Chain A
């Protein structure tokens, strides 16, 4: 059975916003008044307002990174246009771009139009799921809330962790996030609790900017475990085309957290997202990351292996098509002895798309007996596209075992012939090979996500091969 929660990911701020904001404009328009307004709307504690204002100060000091994809299409001098909710928008199904409509239909999401317009169906579904999940969790002491609520209900816990893992000073868009964040998920798993079913990010609050600057904070206590799934494969469409979310994960001693994302933002989106995990002794973070959508992505989930024996696994696939620049990868800091990292990154470029693997493995001087294995594989489907691999190994200890492999190439004619000789058409043969290429990701996903990812690949390939 297909879960109907996908539609929940359509950004509700497009049509659900009821409050009209008045802003006074200065420089880029983002000023203290705006921040105070956002905070007041949420009825937040004072420390959060102060935090927002401090972040705003940092935001104005930092520059845009000189490296990476061109983001000059973002109107950074008028950032308020991304922050300010578009209250004047009256979105109807007709306003939704054709390609997104098609994808809805072809992904088989039933009566997408109906639900999109009603704006309640999916919400309703997720409410139902939410309540049953919630009841079950409460017995175990698991907290699962939307972030805005958590700030109020679990103030101490949030205050202790909020943007401590990703400080606003990290980069300009982290600072922006600190200033204007809204919505997101908060999960707390008490020591020793193993959450058996994957938890999915159902929350989409009506708060302005939610889904655009959402904050995810997950704390998995000692010996606990969790699989969290963010987003889904249905396209998210937003006319506010900047996404600067932030994900902070705290994996305590002996804990396990798998964080999966299949991201399919609409193709006008600048996806400048920051994700980071701090992993304590013998803890494990697993990143499963599929990037399909957005115009530009800069996304490098980072693991700080802080305790002895901590481990990070990254499995990522990036599929860049026409007019897309998807700059993705992972960063691992081995900050303690006996830590391990595995990186398995794959990318596909077609129809002029640009995919970039960018990553780093850093071993700090005290971190002996570190093991790291890095594999990057890139597939070029045509010569209008680009594929760049930009890895860094930064090793500051000799007791290490580091291996790195990167390969770039095309689908071999011999493999195509082999499949065709078994009666499979050329188009299907290529699709089969590409799906096989993506299989290491698919097999790590719950079935319905894996199926949808394969559908996405099929859709991406259709009409470009033959």
Chain B
């Protein structure tokens, strides 16, 4: 690959002293959409969290590089400023902090440029319309009292507003009804461009009915067990992860 966008090499990660990722390798190029699938406990969410530098996840070996920059020792906010974004599987609730305030502050923190409230709110409303979010959500507290679906939409809204270079979507489609999946997919499609990249972490293929990935990887027991094109999705639908697991066990 001519340009090195995201490069993960031999990544080993422990959570509370037990190894979860055990030598994971992954390269993501600009403009690409990657899907990572795998059974529960394989390390999918660990990968998402470690990319943004969650302090609970300890990198014991290996490297993560983004646009040629080593991420290993960077704090989460520093990574965000480099253009990384994580759509959380379980977004946190922050009572007392309004969505619009929070997002404007995040935007200012990331760009280092101040933006007027009026201008920012115009952009925010635009993106909210796109996700069929009612305007009053802007003045509600971040995820506070949101339903599961609303929280996921709020994550996608944040992605659209913050315009990251690399978006990692951790189970963004789980717990959503069909309509919500469609809206979320809409948002992701809107975001997708040749300038950025998306890593979709999921354990079912529903969202992939709407978004065509370039690459599909199976993550099993802390390693990428198999990589290929979209045709792999069909394989998983037919035989399930169990078959793959036993394959990789043999290997």
Contact = CB atoms under 8 A, between A and B. Distances in A.
The finding on whether chains A and B are genuine partners in a shared complex, rather than unrelated, reads yes
Nearest to A419: B94
Given A417-B54, A436-B96, A428 B105 contact: yes
Interface stretch (A169-177, A326-334, A362-370, A437-445): A437-445
Interface centre among A419, A428, A438 (most CB of B within 10 A): A419
B132 interface: no
Interface residues of B, number: 30
A68 B106 CA distance: 43
Interface in A232-269: none
Range for the number of chain A residues in contact with chain B = 20 to 34
A433 B110 contact: no
The main secondary structure of chain B at its interface with chain A is: mixed
A425 B94 contact: no
A415 B91 CA distance: 9
B158 A439 contact: no
Given A417-B54, A428-B105, A422 B162 contact: yes
B137 to A, nearest CB: 16
Nearest to B88: A418
Contacts, number: 81
A439 to B, nearest CB: 3
A426 B102 CA distance: 14
Contact of B55 (A413, A423, A437, A440): A413
A417 B79 CA distance: 12
A346 to B, nearest CB: 10
A423 B94 CA distance: 16
B96 A424 contact: no
A423 B97 CA distance: 16
Contacts of A90: none
A422 B158 contact: yes
B80 A421 contact: yes
B77 A436 contact: no
B94 A422 contact: no
Contacts of A436: 94-97, 141
A423 B106 contact: yes
A420 B49 CA distance: 12
Contact of B86 (A421, A426, A437, A438): A421
B204 interface: no
B106 A432 contact: no
Contacts of B53: 420
Given A417-B55, A421-B86, A439 B96 contact: yes
A315 B86 CA distance: 36
13 contacts: A413-B56, A414-B92, A420-B53, A421-B79, A421-B88, A423-B80, A423-B81, A424-B105, A424-B106, A428-B109, A436-B95, A436-B96, A437-B96
Given A413-B56, A432-B105, 7 more contacts: A417-B55, A419-B106, A422-B110, A422-B158, A422-B162, A423-B110, A437-B95
Q: Which 8 A-B pairs have the closest CB atoms?
A: A436-B96, A439-B96, A420-B76, A423-B80, A423-B110, A436-B97, A422-B106, A418-B92
